Structure 1
Amino acid sequence: MLYLILETLEGKVVWITGASSGIGEFLAYELAKCGVKLALSARRESELLRVKSHCEEIGAKPSDVLVVPLDITAYDKHEEAFKKILSHFGDLDILVNNAGRSQRANWEKIELQVDRDLFEVNVFGLIGLTRTVLPHFLKKQSGHLVVTSSTAGKLGVPFSGSYTATKHALHGYFESLRTEKAAFGIKITIVCPGPVFSNILRQAATEKAGSIFGEDMKSSDNRVSTQRCAQLMAIAIANEVTECWIAFNPVMFFMYYACYLPDTFRRFTAVVNSKRFMKLRDSRDTMESLDKKDT
């Protein structure tokens, strides 16, 4: 049944950023199974080639998977990368803005440079690439923009102030775009995953510029599997869902609680130790290890 739904994507040209690992990598596999033509971007070309190889193993034609190495913050390279895709496939139907970086930090200790760096990667890189692609979509009066946000784009997540702000910013940018260009055939899907298995903790920013959190997730963590998240994301794309949330309870419960009863939710968070929320998010108190590093 899943792949009957995804058959509507067969033959579409999809550009995925952040495709070398995590959700982007597994989304590539889900789409490759149903005959999508893929352009894969990230900084690490060797990892992109590995993903391309696996796409071919599960049925993709070699010519249907194009590796386009790209640092999302290298704005002067966006047009060149897009032209490479158009030259190879002749078109682009869907842009998946998936590149991004997480964070673990105490709000009051975050250096301003960390805020700037995260906005460059999580927001401005995605906006710049979208503005490169959008004229092509507008010209043909058709196109689908997919944005990987987060449950942090809907909630005030503790100990990730800069990251949470970047995800809220994405909603602002793309909801504005949705309203402005809805009559021009532009579709927008904003995906809000909760805790998902990936290497995002290892590469997460902290409160200090240039440092990384450097911890791995544990197999016992209460997280959605990367494959399942990618499957649900692919279904949302195929059905042109405007916004979807992907998470286990109690995260999903809190999403609805905050959405429909915002005042009582805020009163609730005021009496709950914020580190208990971190245990729901990371299945342990990850801030304890960060605080130890600081001392």
Structure 2
Amino acid sequence: MTKIDGKTIWITGASSGIGEALTYALDKKNCKLIISARRLQELKRVKANCLNENNISILELDIADIDVAKSKVNEAISKFGQIDFLINNAGISQRSLIIDTDIAVDKKLMDVNYLGTVALSKAVLPHFIKGGSGHFVTVSSLMGKFGSPYRSGYCGAKHALHGFFDVLRMEHEKDGIAVTLICPGFINTNVAKNALTGSGNAQEHNDTATENGISAELCAKEIIKAIERRKYEAYIGRKEKFAVYVKRFFPKLLHRLVLNIDVR
């Protein structure tokens, strides 16, 4: 059991949704927080809503710009002198059929959800090794464990995260480094509104399943529990999280079940 209180934590994708909720929850635990996203004004809003503003540092970041990963890590370390946890939360979803999706959309999904996260994590890794400790927390998705129509590129990127971070855990457990993969199901955020369509534009409307999902605040609490328990993986949501086990033992059954659900 690891206590997260008072630790220095870098959160990407902190301007809304799960990242914003995590910022508020960790602020209450007196953590020193580096919050990152592309939208500077939204980060300023999130910081202003925190109880301990002096413990919150803003670092503007486009996760897809892998060329700046090393310099951004150096800047992040300079904020409080160290990083104890990196929460890889930045990402974007998708709502389009494979046949209707331009390959540029698949590339963007990989750049944001996979390569950007990997580049940032690899840049942080030497800092963790030097300190003899560190914890990577990567927000994947239940879509990283099984597939669903309209999310092919998103599923591909999330599956890739599991492969990479499982190996990172194997290679660097000896260095005192932990890895936790977070797999949310339906969370009531703007993830569906911001999801990319086949042309690369935002969908701009929510869906019933997302609107009926658990709150970002509850999701944040479950993520913190998983971090403190140093779980390898955590499945968060309502009944949809049990699909992970159906996939494992009854893959054909899950295939039929998913095809019979309106997943758009």
SS of residue paired to 1:88: helix
> Which runs of no fewer than 5 residues in structure 2 stay unpaired?
none
1:58-73 matches, cutoff 5 A: 60=52, 62-73=53-64
TM-score by length of 1: 0.85
1:236-251 matches, cutoff 5 A: 236-249=226-239, 251=240
SS of residue paired to 1:144: strand
Structure 2 counterpart of 1:274, from 250, 259, 264: 259
Q: Which residue of 1 aligns with 2:19?
A: 24
Residue by residue, what CA displacement relative to the aligned partner does 1:37-85 show, whole Å, maximum 9, x if unpaired? 00000000100011111113xxx2x321000011111223222322222
Cα displacement (A) at 1:255: 1.9
Residue by residue, what CA displacement relative to the aligned partner does 1:10-42 show, whole Å, maximum 9, x if unpaired? 221000000000000000111010111000000
Cα distance change of structure 1 residues 138 and 104 upon mapping to structure 2, 3 Å threshold = same
> Which runs of no fewer than 5 residues in structure 1 stay unpaired?
279-285, 287-295
Structure 2 counterpart of 1:174, from 157, 165, 173: 165
CA contact under 8 A between 1:158 and 1:277: conserved in structure 2?
A: no
Q: Give, as a single letter, the amino acid of the residue that structure 2 aligns with 1:225.
A: S
- 1:78 counterpart = 2:78: no
Cα displacement (A) at 1:267: 4.5
Partners of 1:186 and 1:165 lie apart in 2 by 26
Q: Which residue of 2 aligns with 1:45?
A: 40
SS of residue paired to 2:226: helix
Greater fraction strand: 2
Partners of 2:132 and 2:261 lie apart in 1 by 47
RMSD: 1.8
1:1-295 matches, cutoff 5 A: 8-56=3-51, 60=52, 62-208=53-199, 210-217=200-207, 221-249=211-239, 251-259=240-248, 261=249, 264-267=250-253, 269-270=255-256, 272=257, 274=259, 276-278=261-263, 286=264
For these two proteins, the number of residue pairs brought into alignment is 264
Q: Which residue of 2 aligns with 1:293?
A: none
Q: Give, as a single letter, the amino acid of the residue that structure 2 aligns with 1:269.
A: H
Q: Give, as a single letter, the amino acid of the residue that structure 2 aligns with 1:39.
A: I
Cα distance change of structure 1 residues 106 and 196 upon mapping to structure 2, 3 Å threshold = same
CA contact under 8 A between 1:198 and 1:217: conserved in structure 2?
A: no
Which structure is larger by alpha-carbon Rg, 1 or 2? 1
Cα distance change of structure 1 residues 29 and 268 upon mapping to structure 2, 3 Å threshold = closer
